[in-house]
């Protein structure tokens, strides 16, 4: 009995004792350091593992540990971790949050580091480096970018004897084909009108000549006639029974309905390539045009935590992630469109069965996502309000009025 007690005490004390050093144990004596890399997309794990392997051939002393958090919780976790000074050393950042994190001094400005190492930022599209520049300082090295495409299921088209989508399509054509393909008996919907902003209603609003946030950054444009018309068009698919309802889409994920042949067409980004590439029925085309052509463009960047204990190692890793070498690995696996200039062709060729060029074509007429400081907050309001509109609990007019008020209030805050 006494022995048992002694053992227990040792365990407890051991655990508590361990706590004290858990933050420093990464810097063990033999010069090896360990850094953590936080991101959200499980589909990129394979590519990232390969990049890390390559990185370690160059820097065998820097061990990289990956940390995946689902997107739905990612920024919430980061914020929590930032409060507790427990951020990963290197992590993914998006345009909606970069301002907030930069101004909160949670992430490291990289301008001086880049200057010191002669690291050129000209290798990336300017729209992306601009996105991660806050008050003249660059905070993130662009990693990849994505536009929108019209994904479709060839089998459903073939069975209905309808030609595949091409670049001549417009809104009317999309609607017309969706009607033809919808087959209640076979449980097939023509189009999935998902409630997403990027690759969803943002694209449609832009195609209709509307805007999300005004150029001066002071007001939201959800209540403008162009935006209302675009939302109307989007929701009409649900109203007319051509799309699963909002409830159905929350209960069973659309991407799964689509890949199992229950939805014929949907808008989505290139991040789905990994998921769909082994399905011979699936292909992608450019998004149909409205009054004009437009798709969202957005890119992620790698950033460094301001309080990292291994600044040098983290910077070396970020540089490597931004290198041509790493971009080629991402291109090869077809995971995402690498941001490094001229590696995009390799990406298009990575999955020959899918017409990935459609995403690259979109770049010419793409519109960047808003990156105001309060964007994250506005996105929250969009979900809260628009889900009522999508489930037809609230009229579009009432919904956009409420949303615009909330968004404007957020924009007016400092």
d(CA 408, CA 414): 12
Tokens of 377: 């907050």
Of 6, 13, 23, 130, which one interacts with other proteins (CB under 8 A)?
23
Q: Which helix (H) or strand (E) holds 195?
A: none
25 binding other proteins? (CB under 8 A): no
Based on CB atoms, which residue is closest to other proteins, 18 or 27? 18
- Per-residue binding string, other proteins, 61-100, x by CB under 8 A, is ----x-xxxxxxx--xx-xxxxxxxx-------------x
What whole-number distance in Å separates Cα of residue 65 and Cα of residue 34?
A: 7
Q: Residue 369 half-sphere exposure, CB side, CA atoms within 13 Å? A: 28
Nearest approach in angstroms of CB 76 to other proteins is 5
Which residue in 15, 25, 29, 136 binds other proteins (CB under 8 A)?
Answer: 15
11 is a contact residue toward other proteins (CB under 8 A): yes
State the minimum distance, in angstroms, from the CB of residue 49 to other proteins: 13
Decide if 153 contacts 282 (C-beta within 8 A).
yes
Residue 227's φ and ψ, nearest 5 degrees, are: -65, -45
Q: Is residue 401 near other proteins by the rule CB under 8 A? A: no
Residue (86 or 162) nearer to other proteins, CB: 86
Closest approach, Cβ 77 to other proteins, in A, equals 4
Distance CA 212, CA 367 (A): 11
CB nearer to other proteins: give 246 or 296.
246
Alpha-carbon Rg for the chain in angstroms: 24
- The site string for other proteins over 186-215 (x = CB under 8 A, - otherwise) reads -x-------x--------------------
Nearest Cα neighbor of 26 from 307, 302, 309 is 309
Going by C-alpha positions, the residue among 366, 361, 359, 390 that lies closest to residue 151 is 359
**Residue 1 binds to other proteins (criterion: CB under 8 A):** yes
- Residue of 6, 28, 42, 412 interacting with other proteins (CB under 8 A): 42
Q: Phi and psi for 44 in degrees, rounded to 5?
A: -100, 5
| Beta strands 133-134 and 90-93, pairing class | unpaired
**CA–CA distance, 200 with 259 (Å, rounded to integer):** 18
- Please give the Cα distance from 128 to 393 (Å, whole number): 38
Binds other proteins by CB under 8 A, chosen from 28, 172, 260, 353: 260
Give the strand pairing for 90-93 and 33-39.
parallel
Query: SS3 of 321, please?
Result: helix
First to last CA, the chain: 63
Q: In angstroms, what is the minimal distance from the CB of 107 to other proteins?
A: 11
Interface of this chain with other proteins, residues 93 to 152, rule: CB under 8 A? 100, 104, 106
- The answer to whether residues 407 and 223 touch, using CB atoms and an 8 Å cutoff, is no
Q: Does 46 bind other proteins (CB under 8 A)?
A: no
> Which residue, chain included where needed, has tokens 């403008």?
224
Q: Can you tell me the distance from the alpha carbon of 70 to that of 83, in angstroms, rounded to the nearest whole number?
A: 19
26 binds other proteins (CB under 8 A): no
Only segment of 18-26, 49-57, 229-237, 308-316 that touches other proteins (CB under 8 A):
18-26
Select the span of 19-27, 127-135, 175-183, 281-289 touching other proteins (CB under 8 A).
Answer: 19-27
Residue 255 in contact with other proteins, rule: CB under 8 A: yes
Query: Which of 4/163 has CB closer to other proteins?
Result: 4
Neighbours of 17 (CB within 10 A): 10
Considering the complex, what minimum distance in angstroms separates the CB of residue 183 from other proteins?
13
Nearest distance, CB of residue 264 and other proteins, angstroms? 16
The residue from 3, 5, 60, 116 that contacts other proteins (CB under 8 A) is 5
Q: Which residues bind other proteins (CB under 8 A)?
A: 1, 5, 8, 11-12, 15-16, 18-19, 22-23, 36, 42, 65, 67-73, 76-77, 79-86, 100, 104, 106, 187, 195, 246-248, 250-253, 255-257, 260, 262, 380, 383, 387-388, 390-391, 393
């Amino acid at each position: 009995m006494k022995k048992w007690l002694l053992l227990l005490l040792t365990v407890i004390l051991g655990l508590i004792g361990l706590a004290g050093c858990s933050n420093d144990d990464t810097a063990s004596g033999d010069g090896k350091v360990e850094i953590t890399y936080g991101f959200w997309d499980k589909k990129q794990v394979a590519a990232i593992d390969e990049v890390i392997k390559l990185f370690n051939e160059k820097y065998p002393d820097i061990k990289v540990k990956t940390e995946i958090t689902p997107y739905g919780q990612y920024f919430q976790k980061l914020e929590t971790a930032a409060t507790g000074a427990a951020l990963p050393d290197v992590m993914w950042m998006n345009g909606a949050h970069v301002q907030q994190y930069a101004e909160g001094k949670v992430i490291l400005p990289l301008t001086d580091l880049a200057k010191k190492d002669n690291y050129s930022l000209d290798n990336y599209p300017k729209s992306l480096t601009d996105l991660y520049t806050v008050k003249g300082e660059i905070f993130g090295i662009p990693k990849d970018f994505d536009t929108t495409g019209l994904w479709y299921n060839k089998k459903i088209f073939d069975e209905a004897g309808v030609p595949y989508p091409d670049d001549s399509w417009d809104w009317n054509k999309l609607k017309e084909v969706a009607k033809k393909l919808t087959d209640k008996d076979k449980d097939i919907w023509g189009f999935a009108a998902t409630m997403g902003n990027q690759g969803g209603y943002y694209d449609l609003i832009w195609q209709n000549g509307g805007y999300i946030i005004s150029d001066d950054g002071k007001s939201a444009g959800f209540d403008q006639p162009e935006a209302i018309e675009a939302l109307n068009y989007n929701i009409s698919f649900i109203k007319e029974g051509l799309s699963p309802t909002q409830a159905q889409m929350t209960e069973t994920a659309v991407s799964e309905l689509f890949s199992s042949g229950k939805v014929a067409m949907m808008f989505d980004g290139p991040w789905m390539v990994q998921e769909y590439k082994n399905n011979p029925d699936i292909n992608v085309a450019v998004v149909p045009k409205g009054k004009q052509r437009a798709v969202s463009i957005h890119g992620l960047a790698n950033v460094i935590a301001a309080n990292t204990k291994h600044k040098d190692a983290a910077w070396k890793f970020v540089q490597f992630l931004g290198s041509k070498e790493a971009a080629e690995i991402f291109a090869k696996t077809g995971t995402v469109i690498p941001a490094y200039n001229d590696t995009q062709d390799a990406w298009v060729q990575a999955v020959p069965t899918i017409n990935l060029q459609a995403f690259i074509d979109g770049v010419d007429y793409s519109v960047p996502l808003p990156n105001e400081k309060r964007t994250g907050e506005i996105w929250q309001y969009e979900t809260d309000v628009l889900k009522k509109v999508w489930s037809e609990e609230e009229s579009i007019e009432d919904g956009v009025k409420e949303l615009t008020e909330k968004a404007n209030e957020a924009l007016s805050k400092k």
